[in-house]
Structure 1
Amino acid sequence: MKNLTIQDINAVLNGILVGKTNQSITAPEQLELASETEISFIGNKKYEKFWATSKACAAIVNEDITIEPGENRCFIKVKNADLAMSQVLELFAPEPPQFDELIHQTATIHKSAKIGIGTKIGAGCYIGPNVEIGENATIYPNVTILDESKIGKNTIIWSGAVVRERCIIGNNCILHPNATIGADGFGFRPCPEKGLVKIPQIGNVVLGNYVEIGANSSVDRGKFSSTVLGDGCKIDNLVQIGHNSKLGKFCIMAGNSGLAGSVTLGNGVIIGGSASIKDHLTIGDGAIVGAGSGVAADVPAGKTVLGYPAVDARTALKQWAILKRMATE
């Protein structure tokens, strides 16, 4: 168990200390569950009311907080409590799973594969012909990386993930358990003789740097060229990205959302949970698709859309208000 003083934590955050506490801090925790030895967070004024009943000895708060910490309790005021929270979580993060040796003896690594210095490969992994893995990557047990794929330096691939042949993963990426990169795109055509004929998918997947793919998510390979995710994209669990889709930088897709084939997202697009995007559409830079929405037309840059089918958010809210009134009349 780690024990830090409030001064130790503030040395990292460089915030403003309000109040005093002599309590050693052992962990971060949410307000309602925190004990006297834990630090919490108030990232929104609506949560200030919970401070009085919380047992936390300290909290990271925004600069506009309107309450006082109280006796033997302390606030660290910062510009953005949510961002500061991530720094505190890093301070208290436990060590990752242990490797007793860099490359486990049960890993199967083709003789033509190139493994970077400091890379760790766990038990039961399969590394195929002509695979290239950069320096200081971490490949946890039972990962499969097939022929001619490239994995960047410092990338982490968790157990059960599969990287299919010829795919390219950038530097500092994270693939969570059972993520699949480069499965065949969903391509079939009716045929009088055979019913449905499979369309070969001969492209690949290219992930930029600092991309994170959640557990059980799939990014399908392109039919002709590449399915591409730009630098910094963050993909939640149980997300489907169809073949030949192109995502710009720093896009976010929440759980259970999906892109059909050949969808283009600009930079900084946010797709809410369970939203679905029709094939061959373009979602402009900075656009937001609300949770559960069904997008059947292009979305201009900066727009927020809601509903099924998705329309401008203000229009959707007006429609819902009218329906609510009609239901009560």
Structure 2
Amino acid sequence: MKKIVKLSEIKDTLGDLLITTYGPTEDVYIDNLADVQHVNETTLDWVGNNKKNQQVIAEQSPAKVILVSEKVAYTEELKEQKRTLLVVSNPRQALAVIGNAFFLEMGTHEIHPTAIVDPEAKIGKDVYIGPYAVIGKAEVGDNCSISAFVKIYDNVKIGHHCFFKEGAVIGGAGFGFEKDADGNRFRFPQLGKVVIGNYVEVGANSTIDRGALSDTVIGDYTKMDNLCHIAHNNVVGKNCIFTAGSIVSGSCEIGDNTWVGPNSTINNWIKVGADSLIGIGSTVVMKVKDGTKVFGVPAEKVEF
């Protein structure tokens, strides 16, 4: 069954994001979000800021309600079509807000009977822990979702509103070894913690190792895709993106708002400045300054 959402509910949800409204406002509703192939009268359509012909797209849309930027005028044609324009600064952002508010199926707040949670673990309010997940002596904040088969070790601190997809492993021992007098390797003690901020997401089968002597730290709003690895002692800033298959070796510092492309590798002891971009498949072996784009093996500064 489709969900029916009234225009008044949409406007209330947008709040300060909504600049102004043109067209009919009463008895208008939507039942889905529009994509490229599925747009009709009852879907909420949107015209992205990156489109060159925003006016034409809006006028040709069959949707009753359209999210647009201030570049789109409420022309006579749109008036005759009885279209409603919701003017916002960022239509894509507004669409995401509405989609999360009305069309995203939220999981239940429960601990699945097959999950194993240490009695000394501190679990916040409204937390979901899925089938066969294992939680050690860790601290989990409010409104977190921990999917099936996730393993969270002791000495892990997780903030609020975090999401861990299936098979993620958080707080395992880092890959650190020393040699004895005969040259044989033995494990260096991994005694640090993992500290994860708020609104962090970790993809399926991704891993974050605990620190050796210091902590591994992940900043607020950072997102990891599937099959990523963050090694021990890394300090990752806020709002970073690690796309699928990216690897950060030990003791690195990753600045805020950094984007790490698919299958990229950052070597040990590297500092990557804020607002940087690591191109797809790159190997970073030298310091990256703030706001720099690098690409290649070894990665070098590029302009694109």
| TM-score range for the pair, normalised by the shorter chain length | 0.7 to 0.9
* Larger relative contact order, structure 1 or 2 (CA cutoff 8 Å, min sep 6): 2
Structure 2 residues not aligned, in runs of 5+: none
Q: Which residue of 2 aligns with 1:155?
A: 144
Per the alignment, do residues 204 and 56 of structure 1 end up closer, same or farther by CA in structure 2, a change over 3 Å counting? same
TM-superposed CA distance for 1:2, in Å, is 1.6
For 1:308, the aligned partner's letter is V
Structure 2 match to 1:132: 122
1:54 shift after superposition: 5.1
Please give the secondary structure, in 2, of the residue aligned with 1:121.
coil
**Aligned equivalent of 2:234:** 245
User: 2:44 aligns to what SS in structure 1?
Assistant: strand
2:40 matches 1:35 = yes
Task: Check 1:312–1:65 CA distance in 2 against 1; reply closer, same or farther (3 A cut).
Answer: farther
45, 51, 60: which one aligns with 1:45: 51
Alignment map for 1:146-185 (pairs within 5 Å): 146=136, 148-185=137-174
Distance of 1:97 and 1:283 partners within structure 2: 36
Structure-2 residue corresponding to 1:84 = 94
CA-CA distance at 1:267 after TM superposition: 2.1
Give, in whole Å, the separation in 2 of the partners of 1:87 and 1:20: 22
The one-letter amino acid paired with 1:37 is: T
Specify whether residues 55 and 194 from structure 1 end up closer, same or farther in structure 2 by C-alpha distance, changes over 3 A only. farther
Q: Which moved more, 1:192-201 or 1:293-302?
A: 192-201
TM-score by length of 1: 0.79
Q: Which residue of 2 aligns with 1:281?
A: 270
CA deviations over 1:179-236 (Å, ceiling 9, x no partner)? 1101221224566968653334232211122222122211011122211112222222
Tell me, yes or no, if the aligned pair for 2:58 and 2:72 is still in contact at 8 Å: no
Distance 1:259 1:94 in 2: 32
RMSD of aligned alpha carbons: 2.6
2 CA distance for matches of 1:170 and 1:221?
A: 16
SS in 2 for 1:59: strand
Q: Call closer, same or farther: CA 1:63–1:51 in 2, change over 3 Å.
A: closer
Secondary structure at 2:71 match in 1: coil
- Aligned-partner Cα distance in 2 for 1:296–1:54: 49
Contact 1:27 1:92 in 2 (8 A): no
CA distance in 1, matches of 2:198, 2:159: 4
**Structure 1 unaligned runs (5+)?**
100-119, 318-329
Residues 254-310 of structure 1: CA distance to partner in whole angstroms, max 9, x if unpaired?
222110111111222222222211111001122222222221100111222222221
Most deviating of 20-29 and 32-41: 20-29
Match of 2:112 among 97, 115, 122: 122
Q: What pairs with 1:188-203 in structure 2 (closer than 5 Å)?
A: 188-189=177-178, 196-203=185-192
Decide which of 209, 212, 229 is 2:218's aligned counterpart: 229
Q: 1:61 aligns with which of 68, 85, 100?
A: 68
Q: Contact 2:163 / 2:201 at 8 angstroms: preserved in 1?
A: yes
Query: Offset of 1:250 from its aligned partner?
Result: 2.2
SS at match of 1:45: coil
The aligned counterpart of 2:4 is 3
CA distance in structure 1 between the partners assigned to 2:219 and 2:261 by the alignment: 18
Residues in 2 aligned to 1:198 and 1:256: alpha-carbon distance in whole angstroms: 26
Identity of aligned residues (%): 31
**Aligned length, in residue pairs:** 294
Which of 73, 88, 97 aligns to 2:83? It is 73
Give the 5 Å matches for 1:269-308.
Answer: 269-308=258-297
* Deviation, structure 1 residue 138: 2.3
When structure 1 is superposed on structure 2, of 47-56 and 180-189 the one drifting more is 47-56
